């Protein structure tokens, strides 16, 4: 912490964090316009990045079926984190994250302050072996692996009192 004036204080530092119990939920919609009739279905996403296995999904109730080259393929209503892969090449999310913290506070009076703080990640938090594009396929209809750097960025606001 460094007091710039009697009212303004800046802070800076570093952080290290560990990913514990990574999960995610969501919904994906598939739309095919290759036929004369519109083909569309939705699939719920229920991810546990640590314990899900490749090709795993849950079929609760009646699963939707689609015809692929004349064969009916049944799809699970809930897809796991690695459902689209034949084998799991490690966890999708990396365990360790680290970065920088910067912040500024304004002392309203001797007791109350208002502040803002930013966490800026320096580590790539995704495993490039499982980081695929969710928007497009390659020319031969295979996954496009994304060799990019996915980092954490957090912005926090605070209002509090000092004692």
First to last CA, the chain: 16
Interval 78-91 mean pLDDT:
88
Q: Where are the beta strands (DSSP E) in 91-137?
A: 96-107, 112-121, 132-137
What pLDDT does 36 receive?
A: 67
> Taking the alpha carbons of 133, 96, 120, 156 in that order, is the dihedral positive or negative?
positive
pTM to 2 decimal places: 0.72
Give yes or no: residues 15 and 44 share one domain. no
Give yes or no: residues 26 and 14 share one domain. no
Give yes or no: residues 59 and 3 share one domain. no
Do the Cβ atoms of 92 and 145 come closer than 8 Å? no
Range of the domain at 10: 1-19+93-163
pLDDT digits (tens, 9 = 90+) for 15-70: 999 999 999 999 988 887 776 667 778 888 999 998 898 987 776 666 777 777 88
How far apart (Å, rounded) are the C-alpha atoms in residues 158 and 143? 42
Stronger pLDDT, 60 or 124, i.e. the higher one: 124
Q: Which of 86, 112, 133 is the last residue of a domain?
A: 86
Q: Which of 35, 52, 86 is the last residue of a domain?
A: 86
């Amino acid at each position: 912490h460094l007091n710039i004036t009697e009212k303004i204080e800046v802070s800076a530092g570093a952080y290290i964090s560990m990913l514990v119990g990574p999960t995610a939920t969501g919904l994906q919609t598939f739309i095919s316009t290759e036929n004369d009739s519109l083909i569309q279905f939705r699939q719920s996403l229920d991810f546990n990045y640590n314990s899900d296995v490749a090709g795993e999904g849950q079929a609760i109730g009646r699963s939707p079926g689609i015809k692929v080259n004349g064969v009916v393929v049944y799809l699970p209503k809930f897809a796991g984190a690695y459902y689209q892969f034949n084998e799991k090449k490690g966890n999708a999310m990396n365990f360790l994250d680290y970065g920088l913290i910067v912040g500024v506070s304004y002392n309203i009076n001797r007791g109350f302050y208002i502040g803002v703080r930013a966490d800026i990640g320096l580590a790539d938090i995704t495993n490039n072996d499982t980081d695929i594009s969710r928007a497009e396929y390659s020319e031969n209809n295979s996954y496009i692996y994304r060799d990019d750097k996915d980092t954490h960025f957090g912005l926090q606001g605070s209002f509090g009192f000092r004692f």
